[in-house]
Structure 1
Amino acid sequence: LKSKAIENGFIFDSSWMTRSLNENETIESVLCGHSELLVIALNLIQEPAPKFIQVVKNLRVCGHCHEFTKVIAKIEQCDIVVRDANRI
């Protein structure tokens, strides 16, 4: 998903980083490890052409995940809804 997003002009924003990077980490590897993005990736692996993906979590969704989800929804041509603690 990361390479597809980059091909479509997505830029990883380091302002969403909440900690400093270790030696073997990149901004992309840390930001793509958020739970909602992992769930979306797993769903796309299990169902190659889903029409709808819904993710509900108990924590706030960061701005990076929000923007990344919009790009992936456009690329995969499916509706993706991510609900967080502020909307439940």
Structure 2
Amino acid sequence: VGLSWTEIKGHIVHLKAHDHSHPQSTEIYAKIDRLKSEAIENGFIFDSSWMTRSLNENETIESALCGHSELLVIALNLIQEPAPKFIQVVKNLRVCGHC
């Protein structure tokens, strides 16, 4: 399972891929949906070659790829500080080419 850590306002936050345990998970996924929509509007195409597993019944390529832990902690950073000077993410695995 992919894990990512980041520091937000002096606190270390860690999330795993497709994590819904954070108190702000609803906001995190809403932020990811907004970023995903903006990317698609600007011509971004999700590449299924980055998939490392089969999709579950209720999943799309977009939802599977946008649930990666690094995207979750980036979204949380953007919620906490809309215009951060930098965002640092530490992972237990390499970052996939999609992310």
Scaled by the length of structure 2, the TM-score of the pair is 0.62
Listed as ranges, the gaps of 5+ residues in structure 2 are 1-34
User: Across the two proteins, how many residue pairs are aligned to each other?
Assistant: 65
Secondary structure, aligned partner of 1:30: helix
Q: Deviations over 1:28-75 (max 9, x none)?
A: 00000000010101100111111211111121111011xxxxxxxxxx
Matches within 5 A, 1:15-26: 15-26=49-60
Q: Provide TM-score, normalisation by structure 1.
A: 0.69
Structure 1, unpaired ranges of 5+ = 66-88
The AA in structure 2 aligned to 1:64 is H
Bigger fraction of residues in helix? 1
Q: CA RMSD in A?
A: 0.9
Counterpart selection for 1:6 from 40, 44, 63: 40
1:7-86 pair list within 5 angstroms: 7-65=41-99
Structure with larger RCO (C-alpha < 8 A, sep 6+): 2
